[in-house]
Structure 1
Amino acid sequence: MKKVHVYYHYVSLFLLLATGFILFYLNTGFPRQQFIISIYIAVLYVLWGLIHHYLKGDLHMRIVIEYSLIAILSIVIIRGAILR
C-alpha cells in the first residue's frame, strides 16, 4: 500500500474521532445522547480498523478482537463516567 493511501486512512480516522468529540462536547448535559454518540463512534472506529487492515492485507481475527475490545472498553468507561 502506498504511503499516500495510508495518510488518507489516518486523516479519515482523525476526522471521525474529532467529529465524535465535538458532538460529544455539544451534547454536554445530555448523558443519554452522549452515550449514544459514544456507541456510534466506537462502532465506526471498529469498522475503520477492519477496512484499514483489509486494504493493507493483514486483517486477522486477532486484529478484529483487538479493535472490538478497545471499543467495548471505551464504551464501558464512558458509560461509567457519564451515566452515574
Structure 2
Amino acid sequence: MKEAKYYLILAVALMIGLGLFIFFGYNRWLQMLVVVGLGVIYVLWGVVYHHAQKELYLRVILEYVAVAVATCLAVIFLLLRA
C-alpha cells in the first residue's frame, strides 16, 4: 500500500492536467503547453517513484522520457491538425 500514494499523486496530476486541457480548449497553444507540462510531470514522477523503490536506472529514465515524448508529439500533431 506504500506505493498507492505515488499512483494517487500521478492520477491527481493527470486529472488536473486533463481539466486544464479541457479548460483551455479555446487556445491550442495553451493546450500544447499543458500537454508538455504533463509529459514533464510524468517523467519526474517516474524518477521519484523509481528512486523511492531503489530501482532507478538510466534505462528506466530513458523509457519514461521516450513514452512522454512520443505521447506529447502525438497529441501535439493531433492538435495542429484540428
Decide: shared fold, TM above 0.5: yes
Quote the Cα distance in structure 1 between the aligned partners of 2:64 and 2:26. Answer: 29
Structure 2 alignment gaps of length 5 or more? none
Task: Give structure 1 stretches of 5+ with no counterpart.
Answer: none
CA distance in 2, matches of 1:57, 1:12: 19
Structure 2: distance between partners of 1:64 and 1:78:
21
Aligned to 1:44: 41
After superposing on structure 2, the runs of 4+ consecutive aligned residues of structure 1 that deviate more than 3 Å are: none
TM-score normalised per structure 2: 0.95
| Deviation of the 1:12 alpha carbon | 0.2
User: Deviations 1:22-58 (Å, cap 9, x if unpaired)?
Assistant: 1001111210000001011100110000000000000
Distance (Å, rounded) in 1 between the aligned partners of 2:45 and 2:67: 13
Q: Percent identity?
A: 26
3-state secondary structure, aligned to 1:58: coil
Pairs aligned (count): 81
CA-CA distance at 1:13 after TM superposition: 0.4
Residue type of the alignment partner of 1:74: T
Question: Aligned partners of 1:17 and 1:81: how far apart in 2?
Answer: 19
